[in-house]
Amino acid sequence: MSNAAQQFLEAAGTITRNLRHRGLIQTALRKYEVARDRKKSAFNDWSSARQSAAETKWDAINHLDTYLTEFTSKIEARGTKVHWCTTGPEARDTIRGIIKDAKAKCVVKSKAMTAEEIHLNEALEKDGFEVVESDLGEFIVQLRKEPPYHIVFPAMHLTRDEISDLFERELGSAPTREPEELTMIARRALRRKYIQADVGITGANFAIAETGMVSITENEGNARLTAALPRVMVTLLGIEKILPKLEDLALFLPLLATAGAGQTVTGYNTLYGGPRQPGESDGPIEWHVVLLDNRRTELLADPEQRDALHCIRCGACLNVCPIFRNVGGHTYGTTYSGPVGSVITPHLRGLQEWKHLSNASSLCGACTEACPVKIDLHHHLLQNRRNAVGDSPSWIERLAWRAHAFAVNTPALYQFGQEVARIVEPLRLRLQGTPLDPVKSWTRTRDLPPVAPESFKEWWRNRR
């Protein structure tokens, strides 16, 4: 078993017994479900909207080279510098270079899962830069020195009391039980940062090929401030974020907000097409767009699972997943958790090390049903299981299956096996639960169905 698998099992074993955690997640996700269902019902036809979104994303991903070229040439024409980065370290070094050239001290950052993916903050802090997360949830988990718990709701696992204690300890604020007051503490702490910061770093939700713009979705206004006041702006995005046309957003913005947060559209959806243009009163003088591959092209090369690149990171599949709801976000030990994380992580970080994630699923298909761009998530988990075995077959398993195949293809042998099973079953039942049970790895957490008193063949013979 890989280290990652061992850690997953241990963390899952602990957290599933934690009733406090369970209560928090259930409450948060129940609220989400009510809001999402209400907003879904406002659609004239939710399932057709999903199909249309899936086809638009299919078009974008299956013509990725054309659209990326169009995007780049349009956005460069307005004075934006585009950087193409093959690996995480390359992207990190590019951004470190930009910040050093800007002679920056303070960096303000809005939420970006791609930055988590390449461990940007750690790298920048090691260089001695102060990096301030401005999204409230991210600000909280940054103070706790923790990765985000959920790709959309980073601090979902914390109570207001824990957040109050954290603010008291880290920011010296007075304790409070009011979410509003806690939010205002963060607002006051961050307000100066937007004005002081030399560099603002953002992620992006969509890249529009037709007009050469990125679109950033948020609720708080922190991304807008991050992109307004610092003199240098950096936007980091994966190459799969492409949408062909501006008006595609008319479909994707409501779809993302409804599936992700139960909103019609989120508070701010902002298009950026360049640094400050002539005649404009503010905005960064320099804008760097960093396009990240980081093995996305390897996923692209698998036509069976290529649609995993359609993902718009709404988090809907996490919210409905019975595994996620039990083990929580941190157990996965990955940047992207839940069903979509289990599908893409083996591609991005190595199949053998992360193949256990394919089993972190009941294959119920709730994720596939919830996905607003119709990614075939639960089938991809099955395909990853198959690929993991094909990649590195275990000889014991191969031998066992060959023996099984031989037995079921040889009627006499099969019948003999049945007789033996019937005879030894009372003995096995007596051993069940003791260390001597020969199938204890199965019966520890599951029932073993009893051997039938007669086989179908015998039953049929007796009836005639």
Partner 1 sequence: MNAQERILARIREALKVPAPKPGSHGHGGHGRDVAPAPVFAFQGRPVQVARSWLPPGGSTPQEHLTRFAAASAELKTDFRCVESESEAHAQLRHIADSEGWARVASHHSPLTDAATAALARPTLFTDGGYVPDELEVCEVGITTCDVLVAQTGSLVVNSRTSGGRALSVLPPHHVVLARKDQLVCDLTDAFQRVEQLHGAHWPSMISLVTGPSRTGDIERILVLGAHGPKKLTVLMW
Which residues in 255-274 contact partner 1 (CB under 8 A)?
Answer: 261, 264-274
- In DSSP terms, 448 is beta-bridged to none
| Residue 108 bridge partners (DSSP) | 132, 200
Residue in 54, 102, 320, 388 binding partner 1, rule: CB under 8 A: 54
- Structure tokens belonging to residue 10: 């241990």
Q: Which of residues 398-427 bind partner 1 (CB under 8 A)?
A: none
CB of 121 to partner 1, least distance (A): 18
Rounded CA-CA distance 53/43 in Å is 14
Least separation in angstroms between residue 240's CB and partner 1 is 10
* CA 54 to the chain's CA centroid: 18
Question: Which among 8-16, 149-157, 354-362, 449-457 is the span making contact with partner 1, rule CB under 8 A?
Answer: 149-157
Least spacing, CB of residue 242 vs partner 1, in Å:
11
Distance, CA of 153 to CA of 314 (rounded, Å): 10
Q: Is 447 in the site for partner 1 (CB under 8 A)?
A: no
Which range binds partner 1 by CB under 8 A, 374-382, 412-420, 430-438, 442-450? 374-382
Q: How far is the CB of 285 from partner 1 (least distance, A)?
A: 11
Q: CB–CB of 249/269 below 8 Å?
A: yes
- Give the integer Cα–Cα distance in Å for 240 and 68: 9
Residue 136 identity: L
3-class secondary structure, 365: coil
* Binding residues for partner 1, total number by CB under 8 A: 118
The residues in 285-324 that bind partner 1, with binding defined as CB under 8 A, are 291, 293, 297-298, 300-301, 303-304, 306-307, 310
253 binding partner 1? (CB under 8 A): yes
Contacts of 355 (CB under 8 A, 6+ apart): 2, 5, 346, 384, 385, 388
26 binds partner 1 (CB under 8 A): no
Cβ 136 to partner 1 shortest distance, Å = 4
Choices 95-103, 131-139, 396-404, 415-423 (CB under 8 A): range interacting with partner 1: 131-139
CA distances from 362 to 212, 353, 380, 388, 445 (A): 41, 20, 13, 18, 15
Residues 55-114 that bind partner 1 (CB under 8 A): 55-59, 61-65, 68-69, 72, 78, 82-86, 90
Q: Which listed residue (1, 17, 44, 453) binds partner 1 by CB under 8 A?
A: 44
The residue (of 39 and 288) whose beta carbon lies closer to partner 1 is 39
Residues of this chain, 170-229, that bind partner 1 according to CB under 8 A = 179-180, 182-184, 186-187, 190-191, 194-195, 211, 213, 219-222, 224-225, 227-229
DSSP 360: S
Q: Is 385 exposed, middle or buried (0-12, 13-18, 19+ CB in 10 A)?
A: middle
Q: Which two tokens stand for residue 260?
A: 């992700």
315 torsion bin: left (phi>0), alpha (psi -120 to 50), beta (else): left
Q: Name the minimum Å distance from CB 76 to partner 1.
A: 11
The C-alpha atoms of residue 120 and residue 114 are separated, in whole angstroms, by: 9
C-alpha radius of gyration, the chain, whole number: 26
Which one of 130-138, 386-394, 395-403, 445-453 is the stretch in contact with partner 1 (CB under 8 A)? 130-138
CB of 261 to partner 1, least distance (A): 8
